[in-house]
Amino acid sequence: MNPSAYPLEQIAARVGTPFYLYDAALLRDSLRRMAGLAEGAGGNVAIRYAMKANSARRVLQLAREAGLWIDAVSGNEVLRAARAGFPLGADPPVILLTSDVYRDNALEVILRHGVMPNVGSPGQIRQLAQAGYRGPIAMRINPGFGHGHVQACDTGGPSSKHGIWHEDPILVASRKLAADSGLPIVALHAHIGTGPNPREFDGNVRRLVDFFARLLPLFPDAVAVNFGGGIPHPYRPDESAYDLAWLEPVLREAVTRFASVRGRPVRVEIEPGRHGVAGMALLVCRVCDVKETRSNEKGEGHRFVMVDAGFCDLVRPAMYGSYHHISIVGQGSRRAPEPLVVAGPLCESGDVFTRDAHELLDPRLLPCPDPGDLLVLHDAGAYGAAMSSNYVSQGRVPQVLWDNGRATRISRRETVEDLVATECDEALPV
């Protein structure tokens, strides 16, 4: 996204800073290309949107209009998807509920609305049976391989908490427990994540094709196989985008091979999240100050650009050392680049947007802005607003949709009244 293509100052005058700006045209194009994977792979392929990446209602509605299904990870995500128009029930399972632990209203949503659960542990099978559920389930399996863009995002292998381990006796015992509980396993699932090399993704999916081809004969009720998400997104300007055409032949091969193994069609699913939404958003904030420290025996000094957005608004850099490209909009944008550290308003030393994977300061070459200039963090559509918080009682920031030359506020800035609305003084009989 080119910040100069949008009237950022005019929008800021209306909603204040920080705010998220979503480009509907970019989002539609991304969702259309993802939906096109199903047709390009020859049919019998379903594309689920992993809504944890961005659960704004308008984003969900555009995903529905593109023909995508939903992967949800909580009971409330299921209900938000339903409010955006996605049908409930398990025939077909347009919404799949994948969670590691059932908490809050998750079991109630499964029982009341018949949403298909994707179980990742024997304990979840027992919980479903004890709650009285007697419907189809998917089984999430840890295939023993896979990783994330950093180790903290590891989604497959011995260090990953996700799924039921693929080897005997753990898998066999879980399969028997489901059968004894009257829960037919109609779908198999795995998620292997994205590594530093984009082509690792389709390479790992090919490994999953072999993996599931061996497992399918053990699951006679299975009608679908889900390869999870993890399609890469290029966060750095010099990175190449992942070409979805690389994935099409893998999905086509999977459809053909699984049908041959089972003697009947088997639906193949993938569930990308950030790939569809990361690039359609900017986090726009205001430069409040520029200050500096001096070098001494403890280390090198730095020049700090202080902005009004913090890790309560975009946590990925503080949590993972994730890179987000940064632009300056205003008088300072014409200056020669110099090493700058961009930091936020929170009372935390880790409230810095220019960090590396080792959680160290990583100054960025940027033109030094003036106080009052806008600073823009790019590619903020995935796990930005969705992972924002009310730390230090900050209200979550507005989300604005830019569509065909028109700006629409699709969520407002939270107020202190919103923050204290759940506080109560309620006696509990115990």
Where in the chain are all domains bearing CATH 2.40.37.10?
Answer: 278-414
Mean pLDDT of the chain: 94
Tell me: pLDDT of 219 over 90.
Answer: yes
Sequence-ordered list of residues with C-beta below 8 angstroms from that of 134, at least 6 positions apart, any chain: 182, 183
Stated as kind and residue range, the H or E segment containing 251 is: helix 248-262
Q: How far apart are CA 210 and CA 416, in angstroms?
A: 53
CA-based nearest residue to 270, from 201, 319, 219: 201
Is residue 347 part of the annotated active site? The answer reads: yes
Tell me: pLDDT of 40 over 90.
Answer: no
Where in the chain are all domains bearing CATH 3.20.20.10?
Answer: 68-272
- CB count in 10 Å sphere of residue 277: 31
pLDDT band at 4 (very low <50, low <70, confident <90, very high): very high
Check if the beta carbon of residue 193 is closer than 8 Å to that of residue 50.
no
**Interval 101-140: pLDDT, tens:** 999 999 999 999 999 999 999 999 999 999 999 999 999 9
pLDDT of residue 146: 67
Sequence-ordered list of residues with C-beta below 8 angstroms from that of 232, at least 6 positions apart, any chain: 194, 198, 201, 242, 275
Residue of higher predicted confidence among 151 and 354: 354
pLDDT band at 73 (very low <50, low <70, confident <90, very high): very high
Residue of higher predicted confidence among 146 and 189: 189
Average pLDDT (249-274) is 96
Beta strand pairing call for 164-165 and 95-98: unpaired
CA-based nearest residue to 124, from 74, 79, 164, 168: 164
Tell me: pLDDT of 37 over 60.
Answer: yes
Beta strand pairing call for 281-292 and 303-307: antiparallel
pLDDT band at 158 (very low <50, low <70, confident <90, very high): confident
**Interval 233-243: pLDDT, tens:** 999 999 989 99
pLDDT band at 193 (very low <50, low <70, confident <90, very high): confident
Average pLDDT (142-167) is 70
Look at 35-39, 290-294, 356-360 and tell me which has the smallest mean pLDDT.
356-360
Looking at domain 68-272, its CATH class is alpha beta
Tell me: pLDDT of 294 over 60.
Answer: yes
pLDDT band at 421 (very low <50, low <70, confident <90, very high): very high
pLDDT of residue 60: 98
Residue of higher predicted confidence among 311 and 202: 311
pLDDT band at 156 (very low <50, low <70, confident <90, very high): low
pLDDT of residue 406: 98
Tell me: pLDDT of 49 over 50.
Answer: yes
Check if the beta carbon of residue 250 is closer than 8 Å to that of residue 205.
yes
Give the tokens for residue 119: 């179980």
Q: What are phi and psi of 29, to 5 degrees?
A: -65, -40
pLDDT band at 429 (very low <50, low <70, confident <90, very high): very high
pLDDT of residue 147: 58
Q: How far apart are CA 288 and CA 308, in angstroms?
A: 7
Cα–Cα distances (Å) from 28 to 57, 63, 114, 269, in that order, read: 14, 8, 30, 20
Check if the beta carbon of residue 183 is closer than 8 Å to that of residue 117.
no
Tell me: pLDDT of 153 over 90.
Answer: no
Tell me: pLDDT of 154 over 70.
Answer: no
What percent of the chain has pLDDT above 70? 97
Domain 278-414 has CATH 2.40.37.10: yes
Tell me: pLDDT of 401 over 50.
Answer: yes
Check if the beta carbon of residue 77 is closer than 8 Å to that of residue 44.
no
Tell me: pLDDT of 150 over 70.
Answer: no
Q: How far apart are the first and last CA of the chain?
A: 56
pLDDT of residue 391: 97
pLDDT of residue 198: 76
Beta strand pairing call for 45-50 and 337-343: unpaired
What are the contacts of 23-29 at 24+ separation with CB within 8 A? 23/280, 23/281, 23/402, 24/58, 24/62, 24/280, 24/401, 24/402, 24/403, 24/404, 25/403, 25/404, 26/1, 26/279, 26/280, 27/59, 27/62, 27/276, 27/277, 27/280, 27/381, 28/62, 28/66
Catalytic site residue from 153, 285, 288, 347: 347
Sequence-ordered list of residues with C-beta below 8 angstroms from that of 29, at least 6 positions apart, any chain: none
Q: How far apart are CA 417 and CA 112, in angstroms?
A: 32
Q: What sign does the dihedral 100-104-105-107 (CA atoms) show?
A: positive
**Angle between the N-to-C axes of helices 57-65 and 24-40, in degrees from 0 to 180, rounded to the nearest 10:** 40
pTM of the model: 0.94
pLDDT band at 149 (very low <50, low <70, confident <90, very high): very low
